[in-house]
Chains A and B, each alone.
Chain A
Amino acid sequence: MSGTGWKDIPIGGMILEAGNAVEYLTGGWRAFRPVRGEADCTHCFQCWLFCPDSSILVDTENEKMIGFDLDHCKGCGICASVCPVNSRVIRKAGEELAKDDARLCIRIVEEGKFQE
């Protein structure tokens, strides 16, 4: 296994730099991927607020949600479940939208089925 040897890492699993989680790429853990759908995003930042991995990318200058940091996103789908636009997507009475429905604002797509 590649990586630093035991003589060259801090003892006891200590992490000696702050804010280093950015170096640990957890995107490979993902089974589901968040994808922007057809519904217009209102840039309410609910997804940014709730994302447990700080993986919602925002343009702070223009106050826009601009996408997902797929190097760190673990695909938990919280962004889609808290999205208020998703819940306002017009549907037939009694219709349940699939998580990957193209009409949603944030869709959750199985990695295996994802196509650019």
Chain B
Amino acid sequence: MSTFEALAGNEAVATAMRQINPDLVAAYPITPQTSTVQKFADFVSDGLVDTEFVCVESEHSAMSACVGASAAGARVMTATAANGLALMWEIVYIAASNRCPIVMSLVNRALSGPINIHCDHSDVMGMRDAGWIILFSESGQEAYDNLIQAVRIAEHPDVLLPVAVCQDGFITSHGMERVEVYDDPDVKAFVGQFKPQWSLLDLENPKTYGPLDFYDYYYEHKRQQVDAMEHAQGVIMEVAKEFNAKFGRDYGLFESYRVEDADVAVVAANSTAGTAKVVVDQLRGDGLKVGLLKPRLFRPFPAKELADALGHLKAVAVMDRSISFGAMENAGPLFLELAAALALHGVQMPMADYVYGLGGRDILPGEIESVYRDMLHAAETGQVEQMVTYLSVRE
């Protein structure tokens, strides 16, 4: 049995953390993540978890404490956003390099400046190459579900990489929704016990984490991280399959919403996918063959599977909630990577990028509809009018 609760996305994440009952949580408050850790701190104070909760003086220290505890063999979690993630930076890479299966709730927010506390994806896009597995969540429910799965993914012996679970700042983190909360014993049984293979607290077998690693072995250790990423996709699907069977969900590498028989599709991550589904249904009502592809797994990037899912379309638009400044056409990172994936897998079609919603600017159904209309036009003419559009920016 499960219960349905009215929870904000951050509360849903905190609830997952309570059920997972990690050995250690180290975090520093930053908007819009704060209410996750605040709620979890309540659970600690109320004795509902056994977690060692470390109040640190900065995010750099938070991630450092996580790395230390993870090396010691603990199941470790943290939560942050934007500038907090940026302050963790150095240790974000070290967590992945030291193969620490830390799970992070990342509440996506614009990375300064000028300073802004609202949603966009510039924070997570900065950690693309850090060696973390990255999952997107459309809703609080998905953030909750992904967090539970993230523990299993991170700790899998073939993976042993940290995982960041994203949701949109304020839009879902503070938006209250109906969340299905599974029974505590079911979640606990699903995540199981962490059995670290190399614990620093195993005093019988002393070992060293994070030694100096020069030109003679560093490269081999980077190659191992590639190997872990290569294993990750299979493990993510394995864990999703088990999760879906147990909790009645339908998680995969991405969600294809009415894409199968569509002429054109939009690719959009996190909460905007929810809005786009409404637009898809409206346009389908008008007889237009449109679909939505919502990425769930961003790292590792499932290039071939995306090419397979989109290959039959006549045009595709990517909606990017961040800009890769100075990259090709000053496009967004999701577009750039998807364009490369399609090209490398022999898929050719008109493609366009729509940057939107920076710094929390609303994205409305009418704007998404305009993207679909542009793509339907591109499908007819065989070319896009403009490769990169900054949607709804004031001229």
A complexed with B = yes
- Using CB atoms and an 8 Å cutoff, list the residues of chain A in contact with chain B: 1, 3-6, 9-18
A-B contacts, 5 of them at CB < 8 A, read A9-B217, A12-B209, A13-B218, A14-B208, A15-B207
Report yes or no: B216 in contact with A15, Cβ–Cβ below 8 A. no
Please provide the 10 A-B residue pairs with the shortest distance between their CB atoms, ordered closest to farther.
A12-B99, A6-B220, A15-B208, A18-B206, A6-B223, A13-B213, A12-B98, A16-B207, A11-B99, A13-B221
Chain A CB within 8 A of B205 CB: yes
B205 CB contacts on chain A under 8 angstroms: 16
**Considering the chains assembled together, what is the distance between the CA atoms of A110 and B211 in angstroms?**
30
**Considering the chains assembled together, what is the distance between the CA atoms of A13 and B214 in angstroms?**
10
Q: A6-B221, A16-B198 are in contact. List 20 more A-B contacts (CB 8 A).
A: A1-B216, A3-B217, A5-B220, A6-B223, A6-B227, A9-B217, A9-B220, A9-B221, A9-B224, A10-B198, A11-B160, A12-B98, A13-B97, A13-B98, A13-B209, A13-B221, A14-B198, A15-B207, A16-B207, A17-B207
* Total interface residues in chain B, CB < 8 Å: 23
B213 CB contacts on chain A under 8 angstroms: 13
Residue of A nearest to B160 (CB): A11
B221 CB contacts on chain A under 8 angstroms: 6, 9, 11-13
Residue of B nearest to A8 (CB): B220
A13 CB contacts on chain B under 8 angstroms: 97-98, 209-211, 213, 217-218, 221
Say yes or no: A3-B216 contact (C-beta < 8 A), given A12-B97, A12-B99. yes
Shortest distance from the beta carbon of B68 to any chain A beta carbon, whole Å: 14
**Considering the chains assembled together, what is the distance between the CA atoms of A95 and B288 in angstroms?**
96
**Considering the chains assembled together, what is the distance between the CA atoms of A7 and B220 in angstroms?**
8
Residue of B nearest to A18 (CB): B206
Report yes or no: A6 in contact with B224, Cβ–Cβ below 8 A. yes
**Considering the chains assembled together, what is the distance between the CA atoms of A5 and B198 in angstroms?**
20
**Considering the chains assembled together, what is the distance between the CA atoms of A3 and B224 in angstroms?**
15
Shortest distance from the beta carbon of B185 to any chain A beta carbon, whole Å: 33
Shortest distance from the beta carbon of A40 to any chain B beta carbon, whole Å: 38
Residue of A nearest to B200 (CB): A14
A15 CB contacts on chain B under 8 angstroms: 207-208, 211
Report yes or no: B216 in contact with A14, Cβ–Cβ below 8 A. no
A5 CB contacts on chain B under 8 angstroms: 220
Shortest distance from the beta carbon of A87 to any chain B beta carbon, whole Å: 34
